[in-house]
Structure 1
Amino acid sequence: MVAGRYRLITLVGRGGMGQVWQAWDELLGRPVAVKEVLASPGDSVREARSAARLDHPNVVRVFDVVSMPGRSWIVMELVPSRSLHEVVEQDGPLPHRRAARIGLVLLDALSAAHAAGVLHHDVKPRNVLIGPDGRVVLTDFGLATIGAVAPDPQAGFLMGTPAFVAPERARLGESSENTDLWSLGATLYAAVEGRPPYDRATQIGTLTALQNEDPDPPRHPGPLHDVIAALLARDPRERCTAAQAREGLAAVLRPPLPLLTRRPLIAATAAAGAALVVASGVLLFGPAAGADPLHSPGPAVTTSVPARLP
């Protein structure tokens, strides 16, 4: 019994920052999750404060903090779920569209955190929970900070899982909203590939590849990899923004133009004497070859269609 109120029932997870129990709140008569923090009590308070600043359906809610000499606990919402890591391990890599839906939810949760001045610092598949109803929750703000952390050349590698830590954070200790976005890209890569973007046997090997190599070539290519590549840009100045990532993820989920809509459009365009070019699965409608573009019937139109027309 923790604090005379929370009855620990089953150990459901263990990591470097602590261990999590399924528990029962005797006072309010409800199930909860209780995380025993294996660091100092101050770390548990910091984690609780970071998460408590957020009121978002896809961020785990914090109910209470219990501190005792040498031990501390965080009482949280219990989310019946499997982690994204477990889903991929047990079921295999995700289809790109499903991963894109998860990515949009995580991006919303991170955007809410960033708007509240909170940086997560530890976005990875183990910290993404997926409920049986499809709910996606970002959890474990144990490494979170309030506000950005300036580069410190003497800092060296900060805590976190090397395969999911942005290059500038691993090298300089620099933290910003951009570093969380890189970790989101690495998480989505792992979701569709079944392995992190830098899959090495040792932490040193991972960190070396992180600084000097491109992400490993995909074995399951698909439309999500364009967004992932933009998120995994090594230079944070070249990394896509949250808004750009949102648009890219939404584009993966956008349905293609229906065939019955495409056929009349193609026929009408051809009848008007326009040229039709198929390139990379995109139809480009424009003036016919040799036509005067200043007197063409209208502007060029672009629409996505299969590269091979029916």
Structure 2
Amino acid sequence: MDTTLRDPLIGHVLDGRYRVESRIAVGGMATVYRALDTRLDRVLALKVMHPSLVGDGSFVDRFIREAKSAARLAHPNVVGVFDQGSDGGYVYLAMEYVEGCTLRDVLRERGALQPRAALDVLEPVLAALGAAHLAGLVHRDVKPENVLIGDDGRVKVADFGLVRAVGQQTSASTGSVMGTVSYLAPEQIEHGTADARADVYACGVVLYEMLTGAKPHAGGTPAQVLYQHLQEDVPAPSAAVPGLAAALDALVARSAARDPGLRPADAVELLAEVRAVRQSLTDGQLDALPPAATGAGASAGAEDPTTVLPRRAPGTGGAAGGAAPEHTSVLPAPAVPPGEPPAPAGAGTGRRRTGPFRGAGPRSRRSVPALVAAVLLVLGGVLGVWYVNSGQFTRTPGVIDLTEAEAKRVVEEAGLEWRIAREHSDTVERGRVASSDPGRGERIRTNGTVTLTVSEGPERVEVPDVAGEALADARRLIKEAGLEPGMVTREFSRDVERGSVVRTDPGAGSARRPGTAVALTVSKGARIEVPDVTGMPEGAARQRLTEAGLTAETAPERVFSGEEAGTVARQSPGEGSVAAEGDTVTLTVSKGPDMVAVPDVEGMGEEEARAALEEAGFEVRVRRVFFTGTVFDQSVRGGERAPRGSTITVWVR
């Protein structure tokens, strides 16, 4: 079954503007769709974050950063980003649509490339990255999946979602490494930071992969690949593909050096070196044939998360497998012997009559009606074609975005009738034509009627006033108004009951497009400072907390403590903490002191006595009378019991 049939976005108009037509690719963070910008009537790629990630601020920030970074570059070899926005639970980027494939697709299908082809791909990639580096940006995720090759041969770099400004912290969090393991520079793995030379390293790995059809480091797990990046140099491509020029080996070795100080400083410098190498190679070296299908399977590593869905070839229909639509074919008629009339249309395969009476008799007479019918059928078809192409039909004029009066006039001047329909539109100004039926350029009878759909402007609904409502009721009222309940935050409020809505954003009475998310601020109740009830009897502590507007709860286990048995040993949250009205304070009740036997330390040396008492669980205080270092008295006699943790004083002389 085609998985796109289950995609809820297919056929949906996102943000009132972008009509989603088909799915192109699926990744770990987002899905890319082919879409139509209904406002500008152009095809584009729509990158939509998975709804499950929209609540994660770091992912949303990455999305917005990608839009800003690509827009800042505006380079012919960078996939352009036109727009960024959100629609309900969807966050999206509207990007340039590149009809073609990725470099990964090429490597998977063809394996190793000729050196000329590899350099033809690498140079525009470096031009794009060079523009980023000059702007102070680092891509950080250069790999074949992010290199797009258009059907017109143009090469573009995509996915600036991991981009960072040079000098910024480039690791997402402690212990994390951003990027794809097969293309990470050693310093990214070891320190979690990257500058322009990290992109240069990734380009060196990609060049090796283009020349050999396989990645330089392979392993059963990502950890094994990361270890090889740190411990092993990228091998010379000629070791895998004998006959490659030494200059190509040197280019890979310099760009993919483990020591960043040995690499070109940025993509601009590497591009100059690539062009110098190209000029130094002969045509024979540039056009060296790679081994057939080398590494075609190895190139598709398990760590490359984007799944590219099958794309129909241009001009094909919807048949499975991209098969071309079947057309009616004209078959050649069998040759007719000289002097013999052709068999009539619809005649069977019976034997022809022979001899001087050929063509005579009942069989010949029976074929006359069939022949006449065939002639009439052909004649009817000719007349039908003449009728269709005669003056009985015309083309619908273009009226989109005209005012209602202008559209009526244009339709009337074309000799047609008009009918008016009205509907809301987020993209067409009120009073202007949003669409026509038939559409512009479609065939219509010369006396036909064109339905003009005139915009009534954006549909807007009013945010209901839900202040003071319980959260569940507020959500229901917002949905009934045609909006979506959004993020919930909580704050202290003396005026609004705990659990009820304090305010909304947008505020009550605001007009918004249907489906807009409405954020809710809910009351936590009055702000209360938690009183100190430690040392109080359990009943008195409960009463004190209730009077303060809090709820008391007793922990099931009692503990030994310095407090008397039955009194509160500790509380959570503690004294001075801030809580909301109705919050719970947990009380732990004391079992009283934990009484333990005191060791007899008289006659011991000072250090020996201290160790014995501390091991028994006591604090020790020393009083010295003379300085011989022997204990001659203790505050609690040996064998008597004292609370664990209490202080025992010893006298030393």
TM-score by length of 2: 0.38
Task: Provide the secondary structure at the position in 2 that maps to 1:10.
Answer: strand
Partner of 1:21: 33
Q: Which has the higher helix share?
A: 1
Matching residue's letter, 2:112: P
- Is the 1:100–1:252 contact (alpha carbons within 8 Å) kept by the matching residues of 2? no
Task: Provide the secondary structure at the position in 1 that maps to 2:73.
Answer: coil
Q: CA deviation at 1:68?
A: 4.0
The runs of at least 4 consecutive aligned structure 1 residues that moved more than 4 Å come to: 255-258
Q: CA deviation at 1:149?
A: 3.5
1-structure distance, mates of 2:128, 2:206: 14
Task: Provide the secondary structure at the position in 2 that maps to 1:34.
Answer: strand
Partner of 1:147: 166
Aligned to 1:63, which of 82, 86, 104?
Answer: 82
Q: Which has the higher contact order (CA 8 A, sep 6+)?
A: 1
- Is the 1:149–1:176 contact (alpha carbons within 8 Å) kept by the matching residues of 2? no
- Is the 1:230–1:240 contact (alpha carbons within 8 Å) kept by the matching residues of 2? yes
Q: CA deviation at 1:248?
A: 3.0
Partner of 1:252: 277
Partner of 2:134: 115
- Is the 1:156–1:170 contact (alpha carbons within 8 Å) kept by the matching residues of 2? no
Deviation per residue, 1:121-172 (Å, 9 max, x gap): 11000000011221000000111112234587x8334221100111101111
Aligned to 1:230, which of 254, 268, 271?
Answer: 254
Q: 1:256 to 1:199 in 2, by over 3 A?
A: closer
Q: CA deviation at 1:13?
A: 1.0
Q: CA deviation at 1:20?
A: 0.6
Deviation per residue, 1:56-75 (Å, 9 max, x gap): 10001000011245431000
Q: CA deviation at 1:211?
A: 0.7
TM-score by length of 1: 0.77
* More moved, 191-200 vs 229-238: 191-200
Q: 1:29 to 1:251 in 2, by over 3 A?
A: same
Partner of 1:35: 47
- Is the 1:35–1:73 contact (alpha carbons within 8 Å) kept by the matching residues of 2? yes
Partner of 1:304: none
Aligned to 1:220, which of 241, 255, 258?
Answer: 241
- Is the 1:157–1:172 contact (alpha carbons within 8 Å) kept by the matching residues of 2? no
Matching residue's letter, 1:101: D
Task: Provide the secondary structure at the position in 2 that maps to 1:143.
Answer: coil
Q: CA deviation at 1:251?
A: 3.0
1:2 aligns with 2:2: no
1:181 aligns with 2:205: no
Provide the alpha-carbon RMSD of the alignment.
Answer: 2.1
Partner of 2:24: 12
* More moved, 3-12 vs 238-247: 238-247
2-structure distance, mates of 1:257, 1:215: 25
- Is the 2:112–2:211 contact (alpha carbons within 8 Å) kept by the matching residues of 1? yes
Task: Name structure 2 gaps, 5 residues minimum.
Answer: 1-12, 54-58, 284-653
Q: 1:12 to 1:151 in 2, by over 3 A?
A: closer
2-structure distance, mates of 1:256, 1:118: 32
Deviation per residue, 1:174-203 (Å, 9 max, x gap): 110111111111111111222222122210
Partner of 1:190: 209
Matching residue's letter, 1:107: L
- Is the 1:199–1:216 contact (alpha carbons within 8 Å) kept by the matching residues of 2? no
Partner of 2:122: 103
Name the count of aligned residue pairs: 257
Matching residue's letter, 1:171: E
Percentage of matched positions with identical amino acids: 38
Matching residue's letter, 1:240: P
Q: CA deviation at 1:105?
A: 1.1
Task: Provide the secondary structure at the position in 1 that maps to 2:21.
Answer: strand
* More moved, 72-81 vs 240-249: 240-249
Matching residue's letter, 1:129: L
Q: CA deviation at 1:257?
A: 7.5
- Is the 2:236–2:252 contact (alpha carbons within 8 Å) kept by the matching residues of 1? no
